[in-house]
Amino acid sequence: MAQDQALRQFVFDTLIDDSPVTDDVLDKIVALYPANDSSLGAPFNTGDSLFDRGSEWYGENMFLSARRRFFGAAAPLQPLFAYFFTEFIPGNDPFLGVFHSSELSLLFSAVPDAIEEDFANTYLDFYLNFVNNLNPGPAWPQFTSETKQVLQLMRDNITAIPDEFNANRTDFLSTTKVLAEFQK
Protein backbone atom coordinates (compact mmCIF):
# COMPACT_ATOMS: atom_id res chain seq x y z
CA MET A 1 0.00 0.00 0.00
CA ALA A 2 1.31 3.45 -0.91
CA GLN A 3 0.59 4.88 2.53
CA ASP A 4 2.59 2.10 4.22
CA GLN A 5 5.51 2.80 1.90
CA ALA A 6 5.26 6.52 2.67
CA LEU A 7 5.39 5.77 6.42
CA ARG A 8 8.45 3.56 5.88
CA GLN A 9 10.11 6.38 3.93
CA PHE A 10 9.24 8.88 6.68
CA VAL A 11 10.95 6.63 9.24
CA PHE A 12 14.02 6.40 7.00
CA ASP A 13 14.07 10.15 6.46
CA THR A 14 14.36 10.78 10.21
CA LEU A 15 17.57 8.74 10.44
CA ILE A 16 21.10 9.83 9.67
CA ASP A 17 21.98 6.27 8.63
CA ASP A 18 19.11 3.97 7.74
CA SER A 19 21.33 1.06 6.63
CA PRO A 20 21.05 -0.90 9.93
CA VAL A 21 17.22 -0.84 9.89
CA THR A 22 15.80 -4.21 8.85
CA ASP A 23 12.58 -4.94 7.02
CA ASP A 24 11.17 -6.85 9.99
CA VAL A 25 11.50 -3.76 12.21
CA LEU A 26 9.89 -1.55 9.57
CA ASP A 27 7.12 -4.10 8.99
CA LYS A 28 6.38 -4.11 12.72
CA ILE A 29 6.30 -0.29 12.83
CA VAL A 30 3.85 -0.24 9.91
CA ALA A 31 1.71 -2.85 11.68
CA LEU A 32 1.78 -0.95 15.00
CA TYR A 33 0.68 2.28 13.29
CA PRO A 34 -2.07 1.09 10.92
CA ALA A 35 -3.76 3.23 8.29
CA ASN A 36 -7.11 4.82 9.06
CA ASP A 37 -6.92 4.14 12.80
CA SER A 38 -8.81 6.98 14.48
CA SER A 39 -7.13 6.20 17.81
CA LEU A 40 -3.80 7.39 16.40
CA GLY A 41 -2.83 11.00 16.72
CA ALA A 42 -0.80 12.19 19.63
CA PRO A 43 -3.61 13.57 20.03
CA PHE A 44 -3.84 15.19 16.60
CA ASN A 45 -6.89 13.59 14.92
CA THR A 46 -6.31 15.61 11.79
CA GLY A 47 -8.31 13.36 9.50
CA ASP A 48 -5.11 12.65 7.55
CA SER A 49 -4.23 9.03 8.30
CA LEU A 50 -0.63 9.24 7.08
CA PHE A 51 0.05 12.44 9.05
CA ASP A 52 -1.43 10.90 12.20
CA ARG A 53 0.58 7.68 11.76
CA GLY A 54 3.83 9.53 11.19
CA SER A 55 3.19 11.98 14.01
CA GLU A 56 2.26 9.24 16.45
CA TRP A 57 5.34 7.17 15.56
CA TYR A 58 7.62 10.20 15.79
CA GLY A 59 6.20 11.34 19.13
CA GLU A 60 6.36 7.89 20.65
CA ASN A 61 9.83 7.18 19.26
CA MET A 62 11.41 10.52 20.16
CA PHE A 63 9.55 11.48 23.34
CA LEU A 64 7.34 8.86 24.99
CA SER A 65 9.55 5.77 24.70
CA ALA A 66 12.63 7.84 25.63
CA ARG A 67 10.85 9.27 28.69
CA ARG A 68 9.73 5.80 29.73
CA ARG A 69 13.29 4.43 29.42
CA PHE A 70 14.62 7.35 31.45
CA PHE A 71 11.95 7.05 34.14
CA GLY A 72 12.48 3.30 34.35
CA ALA A 73 16.15 3.88 35.11
CA ALA A 74 15.75 6.96 37.33
CA ALA A 75 12.65 6.10 39.40
CA PRO A 76 14.57 3.93 41.90
CA LEU A 77 17.11 6.73 42.38
CA GLN A 78 15.14 9.95 42.85
CA PRO A 79 11.62 11.40 43.03
CA LEU A 80 10.05 11.83 39.59
CA PHE A 81 6.79 13.41 38.43
CA ALA A 82 5.38 12.86 34.96
CA TYR A 83 2.45 14.31 33.08
CA PHE A 84 0.46 13.71 29.94
CA PHE A 85 -0.86 17.01 28.59
CA THR A 86 -4.01 16.48 26.52
CA GLU A 87 -5.68 19.90 26.56
CA PHE A 88 -6.21 21.65 23.23
CA ILE A 89 -5.58 25.34 23.90
CA PRO A 90 -8.24 27.54 22.26
CA GLY A 91 -6.65 29.80 19.69
CA ASN A 92 -3.97 27.29 18.70
CA ASP A 93 -3.97 25.98 15.17
CA PRO A 94 -6.38 23.00 15.12
CA PHE A 95 -4.15 21.32 12.53
CA LEU A 96 -1.37 21.12 15.12
CA GLY A 97 -3.65 19.70 17.81
CA VAL A 98 -1.99 19.18 21.19
CA PHE A 99 1.69 19.40 20.36
CA HIS A 100 4.91 19.14 22.34
CA SER A 101 5.28 22.32 24.44
CA SER A 102 1.75 23.62 23.81
CA GLU A 103 1.24 23.71 27.58
CA LEU A 104 3.93 26.36 28.01
CA SER A 105 1.56 29.13 26.94
CA LEU A 106 -0.38 28.49 30.15
CA LEU A 107 2.76 29.16 32.20
CA PHE A 108 4.59 31.91 30.37
CA SER A 109 1.96 33.88 28.46
CA ALA A 110 -1.37 35.49 29.06
CA VAL A 111 -4.02 32.79 29.36
CA PRO A 112 -5.32 32.57 25.79
CA ASP A 113 -8.98 32.05 26.67
CA ALA A 114 -11.04 32.68 29.82
CA ILE A 115 -12.26 29.08 29.77
CA GLU A 116 -8.66 27.99 30.48
CA GLU A 117 -8.11 30.33 33.45
CA ASP A 118 -8.84 27.88 36.30
CA PHE A 119 -6.92 25.13 34.53
CA ALA A 120 -3.98 27.47 33.90
CA ASN A 121 -3.92 28.53 37.56
CA THR A 122 -3.92 24.91 38.72
CA TYR A 123 -1.11 24.07 36.31
CA LEU A 124 0.84 27.14 37.42
CA ASP A 125 0.43 26.08 41.07
CA PHE A 126 1.88 22.66 40.23
CA TYR A 127 4.77 24.31 38.40
CA LEU A 128 5.58 26.80 41.18
CA ASN A 129 5.38 24.11 43.84
CA PHE A 130 7.79 21.98 41.84
CA VAL A 131 10.22 24.85 41.25
CA ASN A 132 10.26 25.70 44.96
CA ASN A 133 9.99 22.25 46.56
CA LEU A 134 10.82 19.71 43.83
CA ASN A 135 7.32 18.38 44.41
CA PRO A 136 4.26 19.69 42.54
CA GLY A 137 1.96 18.91 45.46
CA PRO A 138 -0.25 16.15 46.85
CA ALA A 139 -2.64 16.07 43.87
CA TRP A 140 0.24 14.96 41.64
CA PRO A 141 1.46 11.45 42.54
CA GLN A 142 5.12 10.62 42.41
CA PHE A 143 6.09 8.28 39.58
CA THR A 144 7.61 5.13 41.07
CA SER A 145 8.72 1.82 39.62
CA GLU A 146 5.72 0.23 41.34
CA THR A 147 2.91 2.69 40.59
CA LYS A 148 4.02 4.14 37.23
CA GLN A 149 1.43 6.92 37.34
CA VAL A 150 1.41 10.13 35.33
CA LEU A 151 -0.86 13.09 35.81
CA GLN A 152 -3.21 13.68 32.90
CA LEU A 153 -3.53 17.42 32.43
CA MET A 154 -6.78 18.34 30.75
CA ARG A 155 -9.26 21.03 31.72
CA ASP A 156 -11.97 19.51 33.94
CA ASN A 157 -10.11 16.18 34.03
CA ILE A 158 -6.85 16.42 35.97
CA THR A 159 -6.33 12.88 37.18
CA ALA A 160 -3.61 10.31 37.76
CA ILE A 161 -3.56 7.64 35.08
CA PRO A 162 -1.41 4.54 34.64
CA ASP A 163 1.58 5.10 32.37
CA GLU A 164 0.51 2.32 30.06
CA PHE A 165 -1.09 4.14 27.12
CA ASN A 166 0.48 2.94 23.86
CA ALA A 167 2.79 0.67 25.87
CA ASN A 168 2.79 -2.06 23.21
CA ARG A 169 4.31 0.40 20.75
CA THR A 170 6.79 2.08 23.11
CA ASP A 171 7.87 -1.32 24.45
CA PHE A 172 8.72 -2.37 20.89
CA LEU A 173 10.52 0.91 20.16
CA SER A 174 12.59 0.37 23.32
CA THR A 175 13.72 -3.16 22.50
CA THR A 176 17.45 -3.74 22.20
CA LYS A 177 17.00 -4.64 18.52
CA VAL A 178 15.19 -1.41 17.61
CA LEU A 179 17.51 0.77 19.69
CA ALA A 180 20.53 -0.82 18.01
CA GLU A 181 19.10 -0.45 14.51
CA PHE A 182 18.12 3.16 15.15
CA GLN A 183 21.55 3.70 16.74
CA LYS A 184 20.21 5.11 20.00
**pLDDT tens readout for residues 12-66:** 999 999 999 999 999 999 999 998 877 766 555 567 788 889 988 999 999 999 9
Give the per-residue pLDDT at 152.
95
Q: Are residues 6 and 53 in the same domain?
A: yes
The total number of structural domains that make up the chain: 2
Are 69 and 93 part of one and the same domain?
A: no
Is the distance from CB of 162 to CB of 151 less than 8 angstroms?
no
Question: What's the angle, vertex CA 108, arms to CA 139 and CA 126, rounded to 5?
Answer: 10
Which structural domain range is residue 28 located in? 2-75+166-181
Does residue 50 share a domain with residue 16?
Answer: yes
Whether residue 106 sits in one domain with residue 46: no
102 with 127, same domain?
A: yes
Same-domain status, 176 and 142: no
Other CB atoms closer than 10 Å to residue 171's CB: what's the count?
Answer: 13
* One domain, residues 157 and 88: yes
pLDDT grade, residue 9 (50/70/90)?
very high
